[in-house]
Amino acid sequence: MIQKICGKIDSVGEETVTLEVGGIFYEILIPSGLSEPLKNQAREERPVTLHTYYYIESSGSASNLYPRLVGFTVPSDREFFKLFTTVSGVGVRKALRCLTLPVRDIARSIENKDTTLLRKLPGIGPRMAEKIVAALSGKAARFALSRSGRPLSISDKKAVDFEEEIYEVLSQLQYKPSEIDGMIKKALEAKPEIKTVEEMVEIIFSMQAEVVTE
Protein backbone atom coordinates (compact mmCIF):
# COMPACT_ATOMS: atom_id res chain seq x y z
CA MET A 1 0.00 0.00 0.00
CA ILE A 2 1.40 3.40 -1.02
CA GLN A 3 0.48 5.85 1.77
CA LYS A 4 2.49 8.92 0.79
CA ILE A 5 4.61 10.19 -2.12
CA CYS A 6 7.14 13.04 -1.96
CA GLY A 7 8.63 14.33 -5.16
CA LYS A 8 9.15 17.01 -7.78
CA ILE A 9 6.17 18.10 -9.85
CA ASP A 10 6.65 17.24 -13.51
CA SER A 11 3.24 18.33 -14.80
CA VAL A 12 -0.20 19.30 -13.51
CA GLY A 13 -3.51 18.82 -15.29
CA GLU A 14 -7.08 19.60 -14.24
CA GLU A 15 -7.49 16.22 -12.53
CA THR A 16 -3.98 14.72 -12.38
CA VAL A 17 -0.46 15.55 -11.28
CA THR A 18 2.71 13.74 -12.33
CA LEU A 19 5.45 13.49 -9.71
CA GLU A 20 9.06 12.51 -10.33
CA VAL A 21 10.49 10.37 -7.54
CA GLY A 22 13.98 8.99 -8.07
CA GLY A 23 13.65 8.99 -11.82
CA ILE A 24 10.21 7.31 -11.75
CA PHE A 25 7.16 9.33 -12.84
CA TYR A 26 3.88 8.70 -11.02
CA GLU A 27 0.56 9.92 -12.41
CA ILE A 28 -1.78 10.67 -9.51
CA LEU A 29 -5.46 11.61 -9.64
CA ILE A 30 -6.29 14.73 -7.62
CA PRO A 31 -9.43 16.67 -6.69
CA SER A 32 -9.77 19.46 -9.25
CA GLY A 33 -9.48 22.12 -6.53
CA LEU A 34 -5.83 21.16 -5.96
CA SER A 35 -4.82 21.84 -9.56
CA GLU A 36 -4.05 25.56 -9.20
CA PRO A 37 -2.19 25.31 -5.85
CA LEU A 38 -0.03 22.52 -7.27
CA LYS A 39 0.67 24.55 -10.40
CA ASN A 40 1.92 27.35 -8.16
CA GLN A 41 4.22 24.92 -6.36
CA ALA A 42 5.50 23.67 -9.71
CA ARG A 43 6.34 27.23 -10.82
CA GLU A 44 8.24 27.75 -7.58
CA GLU A 45 9.99 24.40 -8.13
CA ARG A 46 9.02 23.27 -4.66
CA PRO A 47 8.69 19.53 -3.94
CA VAL A 48 5.26 18.27 -2.90
CA THR A 49 4.03 15.58 -0.54
CA LEU A 50 0.76 13.84 -1.38
CA HIS A 51 -1.10 11.50 0.95
CA THR A 52 -2.34 8.77 -1.36
CA TYR A 53 -5.17 6.30 -1.74
CA TYR A 54 -4.44 3.22 -3.84
CA TYR A 55 -7.11 1.40 -5.83
CA ILE A 56 -7.59 -0.80 -8.89
CA GLU A 57 -9.48 0.74 -11.81
CA SER A 58 -11.34 -1.30 -14.40
CA SER A 59 -11.80 -0.14 -17.99
CA GLY A 60 -14.89 -2.28 -18.46
CA SER A 61 -13.23 -5.63 -19.02
CA ALA A 62 -12.18 -8.02 -16.29
CA SER A 63 -8.80 -8.38 -17.98
CA ASN A 64 -8.13 -4.63 -18.10
CA LEU A 65 -7.30 -3.64 -14.53
CA TYR A 66 -5.02 -0.71 -13.73
CA PRO A 67 -3.48 0.33 -10.39
CA ARG A 68 -4.20 3.99 -9.69
CA LEU A 69 -3.37 6.54 -6.99
CA VAL A 70 -5.45 9.45 -5.70
CA GLY A 71 -3.54 12.20 -3.90
CA PHE A 72 -4.40 14.76 -1.22
CA THR A 73 -2.28 17.41 0.47
CA VAL A 74 -3.91 16.80 3.87
CA PRO A 75 -4.15 13.31 5.49
CA SER A 76 -7.64 13.92 6.90
CA ASP A 77 -8.94 14.75 3.42
CA ARG A 78 -7.68 11.37 2.21
CA GLU A 79 -9.35 9.62 5.14
CA PHE A 80 -12.69 11.32 4.47
CA PHE A 81 -12.42 10.43 0.79
CA LYS A 82 -11.80 6.77 1.68
CA LEU A 83 -14.86 6.82 3.92
CA PHE A 84 -17.00 8.48 1.26
CA THR A 85 -16.13 5.82 -1.33
CA THR A 86 -17.43 3.06 0.95
CA VAL A 87 -20.97 4.12 0.01
CA SER A 88 -22.41 1.75 -2.58
CA GLY A 89 -22.67 3.51 -5.93
CA VAL A 90 -20.02 6.14 -5.15
CA GLY A 91 -16.94 5.25 -7.17
CA VAL A 92 -13.56 6.96 -6.91
CA ARG A 93 -14.03 9.36 -9.81
CA LYS A 94 -17.58 10.22 -8.80
CA ALA A 95 -16.39 10.89 -5.25
CA LEU A 96 -13.70 13.25 -6.55
CA ARG A 97 -16.29 15.23 -8.52
CA CYS A 98 -18.65 15.34 -5.53
CA LEU A 99 -16.34 17.20 -3.13
CA THR A 100 -17.41 20.68 -4.24
CA LEU A 101 -18.23 21.71 -0.66
CA PRO A 102 -15.73 21.78 2.22
CA VAL A 103 -15.24 18.37 3.86
CA ARG A 104 -16.45 19.75 7.20
CA ASP A 105 -19.74 20.88 5.60
CA ILE A 106 -20.33 17.51 3.94
CA ALA A 107 -19.51 15.70 7.20
CA ARG A 108 -21.83 17.93 9.22
CA SER A 109 -24.66 17.40 6.76
CA ILE A 110 -24.18 13.62 7.08
CA GLU A 111 -24.25 13.74 10.88
CA ASN A 112 -27.24 16.12 10.85
CA LYS A 113 -28.99 13.94 8.24
CA ASP A 114 -29.25 17.03 6.03
CA THR A 115 -29.94 15.47 2.65
CA THR A 116 -30.85 18.88 1.18
CA LEU A 117 -27.23 20.02 1.38
CA LEU A 118 -25.90 16.68 0.10
CA ARG A 119 -28.10 17.01 -2.98
CA LYS A 120 -26.13 20.13 -3.92
CA LEU A 121 -23.13 17.90 -4.69
CA PRO A 122 -22.72 16.98 -8.38
CA GLY A 123 -24.41 13.69 -9.25
CA ILE A 124 -26.07 13.29 -5.84
CA GLY A 125 -29.84 13.00 -6.09
CA PRO A 126 -32.44 12.26 -3.39
CA ARG A 127 -31.88 8.48 -3.30
CA MET A 128 -28.09 8.75 -3.17
CA ALA A 129 -28.24 11.44 -0.48
CA GLU A 130 -30.35 9.13 1.69
CA LYS A 131 -27.94 6.27 1.02
CA ILE A 132 -24.93 8.39 2.06
CA VAL A 133 -26.60 9.39 5.33
CA ALA A 134 -27.62 5.79 6.07
CA ALA A 135 -24.12 4.45 5.36
CA LEU A 136 -22.00 7.14 7.03
CA SER A 137 -24.07 8.60 9.88
CA GLY A 138 -22.04 8.26 13.06
CA LYS A 139 -18.79 7.79 11.12
CA ALA A 140 -18.19 11.32 9.83
CA ALA A 141 -18.29 13.30 13.09
CA ARG A 142 -14.52 13.79 13.40
CA PHE A 143 -14.35 15.31 9.93
CA ALA A 144 -17.02 17.86 10.88
CA LEU A 145 -14.41 19.46 13.15
CA SER A 146 -12.05 20.28 10.27
CA ARG A 147 -10.88 23.90 10.18
CA SER A 148 -10.50 24.01 6.43
CA GLY A 149 -13.25 25.92 4.68
CA ARG A 150 -12.12 25.19 1.13
CA PRO A 151 -13.79 22.66 -1.17
CA LEU A 152 -11.53 19.97 -2.59
CA SER A 153 -13.08 20.03 -6.05
CA ILE A 154 -14.36 22.64 -8.45
CA SER A 155 -17.88 22.17 -9.77
CA ASP A 156 -17.81 20.39 -13.13
CA LYS A 157 -19.78 22.40 -15.69
CA LYS A 158 -20.40 19.18 -17.60
CA ALA A 159 -22.02 17.44 -14.63
CA VAL A 160 -25.51 16.17 -15.40
CA ASP A 161 -28.38 16.34 -12.91
CA PHE A 162 -29.62 12.87 -13.90
CA GLU A 163 -26.33 11.11 -13.17
CA GLU A 164 -27.81 9.18 -10.24
CA GLU A 165 -30.44 7.64 -12.53
CA ILE A 166 -27.73 6.55 -14.94
CA TYR A 167 -25.84 4.94 -12.05
CA GLU A 168 -28.97 3.06 -11.06
CA VAL A 169 -29.61 1.79 -14.61
CA LEU A 170 -26.04 0.63 -15.19
CA SER A 171 -25.69 -0.83 -11.68
CA GLN A 172 -28.65 -3.08 -12.43
CA LEU A 173 -26.70 -4.32 -15.45
CA GLN A 174 -23.86 -5.36 -13.09
CA TYR A 175 -21.43 -2.57 -14.01
CA LYS A 176 -19.11 -1.45 -11.20
CA PRO A 177 -19.02 2.21 -10.00
CA SER A 178 -15.52 2.72 -11.43
CA GLU A 179 -16.70 1.41 -14.81
CA ILE A 180 -19.76 3.67 -14.75
CA ASP A 181 -17.59 6.72 -13.93
CA GLY A 182 -15.46 6.01 -17.00
CA MET A 183 -18.49 5.49 -19.24
CA ILE A 184 -20.13 8.76 -18.17
CA LYS A 185 -16.89 10.69 -18.64
CA LYS A 186 -16.34 9.31 -22.16
CA ALA A 187 -19.96 9.95 -23.14
CA LEU A 188 -19.78 13.59 -21.98
CA GLU A 189 -16.48 14.08 -23.79
CA ALA A 190 -18.05 12.73 -26.99
CA LYS A 191 -21.30 14.67 -26.61
CA PRO A 192 -21.30 17.40 -23.90
CA GLU A 193 -24.84 18.52 -24.77
CA ILE A 194 -26.50 15.31 -23.50
CA LYS A 195 -29.84 16.23 -21.93
CA THR A 196 -31.61 13.00 -20.94
CA VAL A 197 -30.96 9.64 -19.28
CA GLU A 198 -32.09 7.82 -22.41
CA GLU A 199 -29.66 9.75 -24.60
CA MET A 200 -26.79 9.11 -22.21
CA VAL A 201 -27.51 5.36 -21.99
CA GLU A 202 -27.81 5.11 -25.79
CA ILE A 203 -24.41 6.76 -26.29
CA ILE A 204 -22.78 4.60 -23.60
CA PHE A 205 -24.13 1.39 -25.14
CA SER A 206 -23.03 2.40 -28.64
CA MET A 207 -19.53 3.17 -27.36
CA GLN A 208 -19.42 -0.20 -25.55
CA ALA A 209 -20.52 -1.96 -28.74
CA GLU A 210 -17.67 -0.28 -30.66
CA VAL A 211 -15.16 -1.57 -28.09
CA VAL A 212 -16.49 -5.13 -28.41
CA THR A 213 -16.28 -5.11 -32.22
CA GLU A 214 -12.74 -3.72 -32.36
State pLDDT tens for residues 83-110: 999 998 888 988 998 899 999 999 999 9
pTM, rounded to two decimals: 0.75
Confidence of residue 188 (pLDDT cuts 50, 70, 90): confident
* Per-residue confidence (pLDDT) for residue 94, from 0 to 100: 87
Length of the chain: 214
| Helices and strands per DSSP (H, E), number in the chain | 9, 5
Q: The domain 1-73 is classified under which CATH number: 3.40.50.360, 2.40.50.140, 1.25.40.80, 1.20.59.10?
A: 2.40.50.140
Neighbours of 83 (CB within 10 A): 18
Burial pattern 67-80, b for ≥16 Cβ within 10 A else e, equals: ebbbbbbeebbbbb
* Per-residue confidence (pLDDT) for residue 114, from 0 to 100: 94
Alpha-carbon dihedral angle through residues 144, 148, 154, 159, given to the nearest 10 degrees: 0
**Class in CATH terms, 75-156:** mainly alpha
**Better-predicted residue by pLDDT, 144 or 193:** 144
Asked if 200 and 184 touch (Cβ cutoff 8 Å), the reply is: yes
Q: Residue 212: CB partners within 8 Å, gap ≥ 6?
A: none
Intervals of CATH 2.40.50.140 along the chain: 1-73
> How wide is the angle at C-alpha 177 spanned by C-alphas 175 and 181, nearest 5°?
105
Intervals of CATH 1.10.150.20 along the chain: 75-156
Asked if 50 and 28 touch (Cβ cutoff 8 Å), the reply is: yes
Burial pattern 1-29, b for ≥16 Cβ within 10 A else e, equals: eeeebebebeebeebbbebeeeeeebebb
pLDDT exceeds cutoff 60 at 157: no
* Per-residue confidence (pLDDT) for residue 57, from 0 to 100: 82
pLDDT exceeds cutoff 70 at 73: yes
Torsion angles phi and psi, residue 206, rounded to 5:
-70, -35
State pLDDT tens for residues 55-69: 988 765 556 788 999
